[in-house]
Amino acid sequence: MNSMTLADYAKIHGQAKAASDFGVIQCAISKAIRAGRNIVVTVLPDGNVKAEEVRPFPSSKKQAA
């Protein structure tokens, strides 16, 4: 298995193929990369790919009233 960032995957394979691989449109890939989202793509031994986003929990701190 090989893991890399979404940006690196898109550089290697192109944004159109990345979009096709994940079932989204190309602008969704572009937007995720521009936003700096922490998405890790794993290429499985059979050639399939999966992606996971790493985010802090909770995603935002509650503000005091």
40-55 tens-digit pLDDT? 999 999 999 999 999 9
Band (14; pLDDT cuts 50, 70, 90): very high
Chain mean position to CA 47: 17
Q: Grade residue 62 by pLDDT with cuts at 50, 70 and 90.
A: low
For 2-53, CATH gives 3.30.240.10
Q: Confirm if 1 and 42 have CB atoms less than 8 A apart.
A: yes
Q: Are 40 and 3 in contact (CB under 8 A)?
A: yes
* Domains of the chain, residue spans: 2-53
Percent of the chain with pLDDT over 70: 92
Q: What is the pTM of this model?
A: 0.83
